[in-house]
Amino acid sequence: MITCRWSPPLFRVNTFAERQAMLLKNLSRLLIVFLVLLLAGCVTVKVDLFEEPKPLKEKVISGYGGDKILLVDISGLIVESQPRSLFGMASVTTPGRVKEELDKAAKDKRIKALVLRINSPGGTVSASDLVHHELMAYKKETGVPVVACLMGLATSGGYYLAQAGDTIVAHPSGITGSIGVLAMKLNIKGLMDKVGVEGEMVKSGQWKDFWSPFRPANPEEKQMMQQVIDSYYQGFVDVVALGRKMDIKEVRRVADGRIYTAAQAKDLGLVDSLGYLDDAIKIAQKQAGLEEAKVVRYHRPGSYRPNIYSQFPFPDFSGAVTPQFLYLWWPGEI
């Protein structure tokens, strides 16, 4: 008698965890082989994550003639150094980039005027002051007229830079002002308490952990910080008083941190006139005594800037753990 009986197949389906472990094991083997070949000199790998900046090139934006009006872009945050990203250069304004443009312009005797196109909420105190210093040095060296054009947003450090202009033109729908200084920090002690994390500090002096994010600031620290803020604020007031030819008391009256519309700023004497970028260019051309001129700007090869309004995209901004002193308008709460 023949009996037929079904027997299950002699294999089983691996679980997800087993398949994942097998995949990791195979990847590890491939990595080991790759490293062996690399160390043996059989494989050459070039990793170029960060694109190096290329020399500036001149581009004619509009107009004609032998004489030139240089358009300098002040957009995004004003910071000391250019951040790097895996996708190229982040869009900010740095003293280094502005100085590079001004140095190139100083060598070109056909640059007869300079227009600052400012669209910035401000930035750090040091960077704003450095850019302003470079602009003033360029004016002194070349004697060319400088016209500042405030675009949609030219507040705090952005307005600080405008003081280098002989004339300030504000876009009719723009926002300016926010004359003042701020410093901030994140107090994460409450969060640390919730997750059961405690910070420990060994320091060489009483104030070495000044403004630490791991605890609330004490009254003495707040007083010390306020003294620094007041010093930077006085510097801002002095620059505005000199640039706008206003009395110190008059500047202090309007420099309480509030923002102003372009019309309000004109009424307060913070800008000379309302107008558009082409109006600012015409003013610069008139101040330079030019019947005709072409508008030029400097750019990196590979970047496309077809007209006077083309600019870099606005950057993302996030706070840092270390304290920074800012000429910056940053509305809202953390």
Residues marked active site are found at 156, 208
Sign of CA dihedral 205, 211, 214, 218: positive
> Rounded to an integer, what distance in angstroms lies between the CA atom of residue 284 and that of residue 286?
5
Reduced to 3 states, what is the DSSP secondary structure of residue 118? Answer: strand
| Of 132, 77, 71, the residue nearest 298 (C-alpha) | 71
> Rounded to an integer, what distance in angstroms lies between the CA atom of residue 275 and that of residue 284?
13
| Of 226, 248, 227, 249, the residue nearest 239 (C-alpha) | 248
Q: How crowded is the C-beta side of 238, counted as CA atoms within 13 Å?
A: 8
CA angle (11, 15, 17) in 5-degree steps = 140
Tokens 């620059």 belong to 239
> Rounded to an integer, what distance in angstroms lies between the CA atom of residue 35 and that of residue 282?
63
Q: Specify whether the CB–CB gap between 91 and 313 falls below 8 A.
A: yes
